[in-house]
Amino acid sequence: QKYGYYHCKACNIRWESAYVWCVQGTNKVYFRQFCRTCQKSYNPYRVEDITCQSCKQTRCTCPVKMRHVDPRRPHRQDLCGRCKGKRLSCDSTFSFKYII
């Protein structure tokens, strides 16, 4: 699981997601995400590891974990290529958000 940056060329909307699923050890994306306005699907234009903003590590021991992931923000399953129309959702799978 990685962090991705998206841009819809049709609507000129940008968004970010902590639910980018890649082939292990690569940045090759498995599932696209859909634009909330026009419903076109896109791969992220940039992918990075989910890291602590303090020490820049993926798994750290910092007392306060400052990450660019907001755990209170819900996952939009209706816009996720992995969740949309499938029985397996990102929320029901072991993911990075459970170990931060």
Which residue in 9, 22, 18, 33 sits closest to 83, CA to CA? 33
- Looking at per-residue confidence, does 44 or 52 come out higher? 44
Give the pLDDT confidence score for residue 55 in this predicted structure: 78
Take residue 11 and report the two structure tokens written for it: 């609507």
Q: What are phi and psi of 36, to 5 degrees?
A: -70, -20
Give the pLDDT confidence score for residue 100 in this predicted structure: 37
Cα 97 from chain centre: 10
- Domain ranges across the chain: 1-78
- Looking at per-residue confidence, does 52 or 48 come out higher? 48
pLDDT band at 37 (very low <50, low <70, confident <90, very high): very high
Coil vs helix vs strand at 16 = strand
Cβ neighbours around 67 below 10 Å, total: 19
* Structure confidence by residue, pLDDT tens digits, 62-84: 766 555 666 677 788 889 888 88
